[in-house]
Amino acid sequence: MYQNFPDKAAPLFTELVENATGTAQISGLLTLGNISYRVAKDVDSAVAWYEKAEKLLPLTDPLVETPSYRLGRLYLVQGHGLKGLEKLRLFTARFPRSRHLARAYLTMGEACVALNNPERAVRYYRRVLRIAPHKADEINKLIAEAEKLPTSQEWLKTRAAQLREDRAETEESTSKDGAAEKTVAIADVKKISNVKALTEKDLAQYNEATVYGLFLDEVAGQKPNADRMVMYLKDVLRRDKTPADLRNRALRQYISTRFFRFRKAEEFAEEAQQMLIRNNYAEWQSELLFRLAQAQEYFLKMPVEANKSYFEYLSFYPAGRRVNEVRQRIPQVYVKADDKRNALRFFEKLVEDNQLSDEIRVDASLQMARLLILDEKKQDAIKTLEAALAYKSDSRPDICLRLEKLTEDFSYVRRALESEGAETARFKALSRLIEKCEEEEDFKGAAAILRDFSADFELPESKLWIEKKVDDLGKRGVIGEIEDLIDQYPEEPETAGRMFRLARMIEGAENTRYRSEDLFYEITLVYPNSEYYRESKIRAENTRAIRAVSELNDMLKTGVQGRESEEVIIERARLLKESLKDLNAAMENYESFVELFPTSPRLDEVYLNLGELALTELKDPQKAFSYWEKGIAASRDPFMREDITSRINRLKVFSERVLFSEKAQDIEVGMSEVFRAWRVNKDRFYALGLLETAISKLENRPDVARMRYYTARIYEDAGNYERAAAEYEKALRSLYHPGCRKDMVLFRLARMYAAQNRESEAVKWYQSLVNRYPRSRLSRSAYYWLHKYEERNKNLTRAHHYLDVLLQFRSLNPLHREAIEKKLYEIEGKMNVEQLERLKKLSSSGGGDMPYYIGKVLEKNLRDYDLAIRQYEEFLKTNPPVRRSREILKKIADLYEKKGDFVKTVSYLDMLLDTYEPSLNNFDLIVRIGSLVEDKLNNIELTELFYSSILADYQKIRNVREFATAKLKRIDEKKREKARPVRGKKIVKRIYSEDDEVVLEEIQEIISRQVDDLQDFRMAERELEDLWNDNLESLATLDIMKTLVELNMKSLQDPQKAAMYYQRWLDENPDDPLVKEYTMKLYDHYMDVLRDGQKALRLLEDYIRVHPISIETMDIELKLAKSNELLIRNFEEARRIYLRIIDTRLNDPVVHEAYFRVGFVLREGFAAYDEAVKYWQELIDQYYNNEFADKAQFAIAYTYETYRRDYTRARQNYERILNLYPNSSLQQQARDALLRIEGK
């Protein structure tokens, strides 16, 4: 029930949860959480169920994984950002190999972007890249968008400035009069009863101070009502006798409320204009006019109206404090309005005004130059920027760089570096100069530039780049020498070491001859046996991890805030440990973390990893114990305490059972801990630590061979093939090896080398396996691999030998034996071809019939049609006898037809036809050529030409002549035939009113806000439903319905609800011209998506009941009849509807199909065979050239054959298909039927 009707299964699982315990109760809770999460989309209920399940589950139970992940995401949906991020962080720490890991990091990145922390979001996105490289395109876009956002520090500065402005706008006057008024107002407010019921008319009986006190009282509430706050403030501002101090405070509060806190731009603009007109633009209203212009510009997107307001400000308040800001905004608003002429005029006024500051004039010059460039006035832009250099400004370096782009004069870059100004632009100029020097290989010049200007930079990013570049330039001499040695002596054995050294030196460097990842990759390809192979392979496959480590190092050098430094060090250590396999460096990072952050809440995680590394790298269980005990003491996370405790207990059990006991049973119990860590917990490092510790302590024990084998298996799973091979070989050399099968060791060694494409080593180990253990079952795989290797190397004799030996195994699976026998047969064919080719070369007569026999072997045995065709064509050149030539031509044509090359098929069949004298025996060949030309080549002109030639050549052969004449007649009809135009869909143009346009805009706002920005699909659905309920009479309800359907199908994954929205719109709009179209869409939805035939049938019945049969509804009638016939087998109703359509007697495809289907209803449902044949015959006779004619003819023939046993009439009707419908797809079935009834 849960699978088919999950929404109806919730009560059953609720009852199960209430009455069950243990596993059943936990499963029920998780299922209820899934139903709430996936079906009902009830976030709060899902959170409640998952939290209950999480509390009941043990901390280390694998079932905790999914609820933990979903709880983190659901907390974010609920708006608990920090709680959700912390939950997901714990999830990533506890389940580092979860299938949800990539999605968790992606969600954390999106949450960080929403919380204005794009730096952390970028780090999470890059982790997704390392975990899921297939999402690279999507994640790179997100990274690019996040990097464009202001950093958290920039956002905080902007927010602080905004809050300071808000506070300045809303702070209360500290004068005694103000305090006294406030005291009186509060006292008066306390006397007023039922404040919430007050209206605008009621406020007239109170004085200004009392009304303002009501406002202050509303602000002090837990949930202030913005509308009531505005009502109080507007009442204070509307009064003429309001004291100036109180009026100014009320105006500041009004702007703060309407413009900043509870922004409603349209209402603010309307109210502000009314107040300004009422008071005739009084002096105290200057700020209100400025904010009105800002609202029109930024929020209402009305640049013309905004500029009018700005000009009014300059007119009414020429000495206002916002004058300079307004003058700067006017040309920019003209740019938004696409009025470049006026924009340039006002920018020019700003530039020429000597009273303005240099910063304002330079900013205007930059924007003016940008406009000139867009107008393709490049010289004017250059003059404007050159003039701007005369002013004192921090933008001078930026101006120089812009001039360099316009003039292509690189000297401007040097001027930008030498200018005083913004460090960002100067740093860009420095990097450009260094890059040019490196391209010209002027490393001394680059070093001189860095030496002269490095002291002028203060930003951490600039200092870090300069430090890295100085270090890079210091190595340039060595890098150049190594590069020259590699180029001059590529064959020397030292080249691998040189390439590795060079790759390590240029990691992260720019403008080098080689890339480090390319060098590492080349080492893995060219020097697979080199000592540098392993590390090169790791670094070649983990370029993203290397780049991430470099970025983390840069972050630590530039400085990070607060707890981020802890996260950076842990992330760097994790990358070194898991991706780069640099365990020593990882251990150093963890140890430095302990020293730097002795009170960190993440010490438990660090000590856990230190213990694993102590086991793996140092092989010191006592040190591991020590680290884990410290982790337990420092941990405040119950999950982590449980995990560390279980590791300590398992390590003790392993030590007691394996290290100190000699009983076989104890050793097996200890080894089970290794398997638990390796296979169940997927903790490779811990399992390796246990095994290597035991191997180091028990060198001479017989169990060491098995431990080495398992160690090699773990290394092989991890991709460390060199270490795995070393351990396998040590296990192979052991003299006494209980529990360690040497044939398995040989097999894994060989297979591992084969996976690396190191075939010479793989051959050596596979041959050792078959020589030492010829009857082992693993030898079967060895023989098969050796046969493939020898076959690839054209050594067919040895390949045949290996397969022959393999077939001697009695334990072969029958399917495998059959496949091997086929392979053996194929190899024998290849050997025969080789032998024939050799004989052909030795033959003095050129081979004679050899190509023919080689072609037969290639065709029959090897299925190599290309080579077979080549041999047959070569044989044709020897001018063989006519009989053999005909055979070869037919074979070549058949092979080309199998390959799908119908042009050559027709060509060779035509050549074959030319070898025969005209006779009736050629009829089948003529039909075949004609069918290929007409159906496969689809060339009507070529078909006409072919049958014309046949008619001319076979004029004396009656049957062929009649057939060719009929075909030519049919071709002529097809040429002259005009297809009946398909009944077009009625086009309905919907004309929306202004109110409808408003509804459409609201739909776009909801989608933009709730779907695109917040990803809150459930809230979007609720708001769209409310919009629908508020506008039931609007034409835009169709657009609301379409949006809701799309939302449920794509985002909410709820097709049932999508069908409900379709049905609601159809019920509410029965007279809409598009009712039929959306009825059919709902029908298709029921049939294709929900697979609910009963609902689809009821829908069509309801439509037909309201809309009687007509030309417009016949297709719906037809679908209704087919549903009755095929879905619910109601033949009576199907016949009634089909006959009603037939009674229209229209020459329409719907009527043709009704004729065709009613025959089957009569035959299958009523056994009325004669009546069925009658309707099919009427369809053929009355409606010439309908698409069902050949099918109806076949149905008649089949009815006579199968149901009436009248083989004479059946034969006649089958022959009609062959004669009347030569292009029908039923031609072959008709021929088969004629053969079937022959002699009956």
Alpha helix segments (H runs only) across 409-489:
411-418, 423-439, 443-453, 460-474, 476-488
Is 230 within 8 Å of 206 (Cβ atoms)? no
Q: Which of 1026, 1040, 1027 is nearest to 1069 (CA)?
A: 1040
pLDDT at 784: 92
pLDDT at 305: 92
Our CA angle for 271, 276, 277, nearest 5°, is 100
Residue 435 has pLDDT above 70, yes or no: yes
Tokens 């001697």 correspond to what residue? 808
Lowest mean pLDDT among 93-102, 283-292, 587-596, 1198-1207: 93-102
What is the three-class DSSP state of 144? helix
pLDDT band at 1116 (very low <50, low <70, confident <90, very high): confident
Residue 21 has pLDDT above 60, yes or no: yes
Q: Which of 1174, 1167, 1166 is nearest to 1192 (CA)?
A: 1174
Rounded (10°) CA dihedral 369, 374, 375, 381: 20
pLDDT, tens only, 390-402: 888 888 899 898 8
pLDDT at 183: 44
| Residue 313 token pair | 């400000």
Which comes out higher in pLDDT, residue 981 or 966?
966
Q: Span 1185-1211, mean pLDDT?
A: 86
Is 612 within 8 Å of 587 (Cβ atoms)? no
What does the alpha-carbon distance between residue 482 and residue 503 come to, in Å, rounded to a whole number? 10
What does the alpha-carbon distance between residue 153 and residue 1038 come to, in Å, rounded to a whole number? 46
| Residue 909 token pair | 């069949």
Q: Which amino acid is at 614?
A: A
Helices (H) and strands (E) in the chain, counts: 65, 0
Is 36 within 8 Å of 49 (Cβ atoms)? yes
Q: Which of 155, 91, 96 is nearest to 120 (CA)?
A: 155
What does the alpha-carbon distance between residue 572 and residue 617 come to, in Å, rounded to a whole number? 18
pLDDT band at 844 (very low <50, low <70, confident <90, very high): low
Q: Span 1079-1097, mean pLDDT?
A: 77
Length of the chain: 1240
What is the three-class DSSP state of 994? helix
Question: How far is CA 302 from its chain centroid?
Answer: 38
Does residue 511 come out as left (phi exceeding 0), alpha (psi in the -120 to 50 range) or beta? left
Q: Which long-range contacts (CB under 8 A, 24 or more apart) does 510-517 make?
A: 510/435, 510/438, 510/472, 511/435, 511/438, 511/439, 512/479, 513/483, 514/483, 516/546, 517/543
What does the alpha-carbon distance between residue 1131 and residue 1125 come to, in Å, rounded to a whole number? 6
Is 1178 within 8 Å of 1189 (Cβ atoms)? no
What does the alpha-carbon distance between residue 734 and residue 740 come to, in Å, rounded to a whole number? 10
pLDDT, tens only, 32-71: 888 887 777 788 888 888 888 888 877 566 677 888 888 8
501: how many CB neighbours lie within 10 A of its CB? 16
Which comes out higher in pLDDT, residue 954 or 529?
954
Residue 563 has pLDDT above 50, yes or no: yes
Tokens 């009523």 correspond to what residue? 1166
| Residue 723 token pair | 């270490």
| Residue 87 token pair | 């939950």
pLDDT band at 1127 (very low <50, low <70, confident <90, very high): low
Specify which of 665-669, 1084-1088, 1217-1221 reaches the highest per-range mean pLDDT. 1217-1221
pLDDT, tens only, 402-423: 898 888 888 898 888 888 888 8
Our CA angle for 974, 976, 977, nearest 5°, is 60
Question: How far is CA 971 from its chain centroid?
Answer: 51
Q: Which residues contact 1147 (CB under 8 A, 6 or more apart)?
A: 980, 1183
pLDDT at 981: 43
Is 418 within 8 Å of 450 (Cβ atoms)? no
pLDDT at 700: 57
pLDDT at 292: 92
pLDDT, tens only, 130-166: 778 778 888 888 888 888 888 887 778 877 776 676 5
Q: What is the DSSP letter of 347?
A: H
Is 358 within 8 Å of 395 (Cβ atoms)? no
Q: What is the DSSP letter of 543?
A: H
Q: Please give the domain boundaries of the chain with CATH numbers for all domains.
A: 6-154 (1.25.40.10), 603-699+706-715 (no CATH), 828-915 (1.25.40.10), 919-978 (no CATH), 1059-1236 (1.25.40.10)
301: how many CB neighbours lie within 10 A of its CB? 11
pLDDT, tens only, 762-797: 999 999 999 999 888 899 999 999 999 998 888 988
Is 632 within 8 Å of 641 (Cβ atoms)? yes
What does the alpha-carbon distance between residue 1075 and residue 293 come to, in Å, rounded to a whole number? 47
What does the alpha-carbon distance between residue 550 and residue 540 come to, in Å, rounded to a whole number? 15
What does the alpha-carbon distance between residue 145 and residue 114 come to, in Å, rounded to a whole number? 12
Is 609 within 8 Å of 643 (Cβ atoms)? no
pLDDT, tens only, 246-305: 888 889 888 888 888 888 889 999 999 999 998 888 988 999 999 999 999 988 899 999
Specify which of 554-563, 862-871, 901-910 reaches the highest per-range mean pLDDT. 901-910
Mean pLDDT score across all residues of the chain: 82
- CA–CA distances in Å: residue 101 to residues 76, 93, 953: 16, 10, 76
Q: What is the DSSP letter of 919?
A: -
What does the alpha-carbon distance between residue 473 and residue 479 come to, in Å, rounded to a whole number? 10
Q: Which residues contact 584 (CB under 8 A, 6 or more apart)?
A: 617
| Residue 1145 token pair | 């007697």
| Residue 793 token pair | 């190397």
Q: Span 1028-1036, mean pLDDT?
A: 83
Residue 680 has pLDDT above 80, yes or no: no
Is 118 within 8 Å of 112 (Cβ atoms)? yes
Q: Which residues contact 696 (CB under 8 A, 6 or more apart)?
A: 619
Which comes out higher in pLDDT, residue 63 or 869?
869
The share of the chain scoring above pLDDT 70, in percent, equals 91
pLDDT at 903: 87
Q: Which of 969, 913, 971 is nearest to 939 (CA)?
A: 971
Q: What is the DSSP letter of 1204?
A: S
Residue 184 has pLDDT above 60, yes or no: no
What does the alpha-carbon distance between residue 637 and residue 647 come to, in Å, rounded to a whole number? 16
Which comes out higher in pLDDT, residue 1042 or 578?
1042
Residue 1129 has pLDDT above 90, yes or no: no
Which comes out higher in pLDDT, residue 282 or 637?
282
The share of the chain scoring above pLDDT 90, in percent, equals 6
What does the alpha-carbon distance between residue 245 and residue 174 come to, in Å, rounded to a whole number? 11
| Residue 1213 token pair | 């009707």
pLDDT, tens only, 872-884: 888 888 888 888 8
Q: Span 614-621, mean pLDDT?
A: 79
Is 706 within 8 Å of 737 (Cβ atoms)? yes
HEC string for 3-66 = CCCHHHHHHHHHHHHHHCCHHHHHHHHHHHHHHHHHHCCCHHHHHHHHHHHHHHCCCCCHHHHH
- CA–CA distances in Å: residue 624 to residues 601, 688, 1224: 20, 13, 80
If residue 528 lies in a helix (H) or strand (E), which one and from where to where? none
pLDDT at 847: 62
Q: Which of 900, 848, 901 is nearest to 875 (CA)?
A: 848
What does the alpha-carbon distance between residue 918 and residue 439 come to, in Å, rounded to a whole number? 80
Query: Residues of 339-350 as b/e, b for ≥16 C-beta within 10 angstroms?
Result: beeebbebbeeb
pLDDT at 819: 87
Q: Which residues contact 767 (CB under 8 A, 6 or more apart)?
A: 782, 786
Q: What is the pTM of this model?
A: 0.48
Q: What is the DSSP letter of 95?
A: -
What is the CB-side half-sphere exposure of residue 2 using CA atoms within 13 A?
15
Is 549 within 8 Å of 582 (Cβ atoms)? no
- CA–CA distances in Å: residue 747 to residues 25, 303, 687, 722, 788: 47, 77, 23, 16, 16
